[in-house]
Structures are given as C-alpha cells and as structure tokens.
Chain A
C-alpha cells in the first residue's frame, strides 16, 4: 500500500556496484528475510499446489501421485450439484445483508462518536465497543446462546411471564439476519477505528466555513464529512466486494448444525462438510478453487472499476 513509485527516484547513485557486491554488503539482512519468507512460501504459497486435487478423483490413501486424473469432471459435477447452489445462494444472501446492514454500521457509530463533545465519554464508549472484537466465535456463540437460546435469558423471562418461548438461535428463518447481527455486535466498534482516524484528519476549518455559509449539521455531514471519508469507504467497499463469497466460516460452522444445511450452509462450510467430513475431496476442492479464483477476480475488477470512476484504488 505504501509502495510508492517515489522509491525509484530516490535511488542513490551507486548503482555501478555489481549485484553480487550489493548482496554481499547486505548479507546480514538476509538472515532476517529468509526465515519469514520461507514461512510465507511454505504455508501460504505451497498449499496453492494442493488445488490440483480439484482435477483428480483424490483419495487420501493414494495421494497426489496415485489418485486418478479426471480433468474437469469435478467442475461439471459442481454445477449440477444442488447443494452447491444452495450454499452459493446462502453465501450471497448473507453477504448482501452484511453489505446493507453491517457495512454502514461502523460508519454511523464513528460519526456518532465523532460528534461527542466530551473526550471522556467517547473514550469510555470506545473501550467498551472495541471489546467484542477480541472475543472468539466459540465464546461469542456460547454467550449468545445464553441470552437468546432455548434455555437462554429471553426465554426464561418469557416463561416466567407465561408466554410462548422462541429459540432464536435455532430458527432457520432467522439464521441469516442473526449471523449479520452477530457480525455487527462483534465488529461494529472495532470497525470505527479506521473511520475515526479519517474523521480526525478532516480540517476543522472546512466545517467552520460550511457553517458560516449556512450549512446545517446535516449539510455539513453531506458536504464536508462524507466527502472527507469517501476514499476510505470506497477502499473498504472494494475489499468487501472481493470477499463477497466469504462469510464468517468459523461463525457459521458453529451454528449451521442447529438450523440445517438448507438454511445455513455456505460455500466454505460446504467444502468442510463435503470434503473433510464427507470424503468427497475432489469436488469440494473444486468448489474452494472456484471460490478463491472468483474472489480474486472480483476484488481486482472492483478495484479497476473504482479507478475508472476516478477514485483511488487499493492497489
């Protein structure tokens, strides 16, 4: 991100040195570079090769070399498998709900926090709303179960008042909104950090000038605040679009069993249940590969589109 072209212009005039001499001169730096780089290669790049099993009828006993090659059979199988379509549909719906409800939430909260006059109150609120970000999904689900589940607080209160109970955590119809609500609970506060930084960078004189020109608070938000954070909003939107086929895997894996695959299965959990649990390695690797490739294409094209529209992209 901060790889600027400026680097090239600042190169000192000692390019005459040979490459070997330059490497020798910096030999100690390679001691720092090599271990980390090897880790990245071993655990981030090497696994990409594992995707070849998408073109195989893979069996763990036969391994890569022993398993028969089947060409694109797994990919054609993927399109005729109704479970894949269900998982795709669920993924896209959850992503869409996230885009509508979860994406704007930190922006709104950041605007609210920014409008507070008292530093003390703002800091206190911040330290509370950042906390859920650090709570793992298992703990989060356990806590939510305790509040909204079958034996949870809400149902206890309903029961005590002789009312019908509702198990919000195990209702297939509520599953998707519930996932988005959990995302909001967990990440809304943490998400404000980046917007608050952008908001503090806005020149206060702009507000003053706007106010003197007769802009109301809403006018100032529209004409000063929002343009001031537009760049960062667009940037995060690109990243979000690139991840549209990725919805909280760990979160859904924990809660999908309570509502069943029809309501809850997403692409990543499909890969897990079909491949790792079900043993259909080839097909689920094909789904994973498709998803990864589409995700990369999506983020690159969103970035291209945004640049076309005259905004700064991510890369």
Chain B
C-alpha cells in the first residue's frame, strides 16, 4: 500500500479515536502536540490500526514511535 493511502486511513482513525473531526495529522504530529493523544488514546490507536490493516505490532514498536511519520513507516514495513 502506498504511503499516502496509509496516511489517509490513519487520518480517519485518529479523528475517530481522538473524537475530533477537525484534527489534521502530519508526519511530525506527536503526542506532545496533540492534546487528546494520551496513553489511553495510544492503546486505542494501536488496536484500531492493527484491526484496519490486519497487522500486529510488537511492544518495542509501540514504544519506539516518536511521531505519526514513524507509525506510518512501521505499518509500511508489515
């Protein structure tokens, strides 16, 4: 799947999980700058992404992401 397509899907998941339809994410978006993105949201994001793409992340991957761009890279490697 192309990067841009993955990004588009993630955009929807972020809006849905963080319950904010105005949210626009970029490669640089991180938990530091997006207020709703706390540790609980992180789990819901992981589960939603795993289901959507039918993949599984390992614990190290989940802990390693610093921003959305790194999440996308990780998805593309699966």
Pair from one complex: no
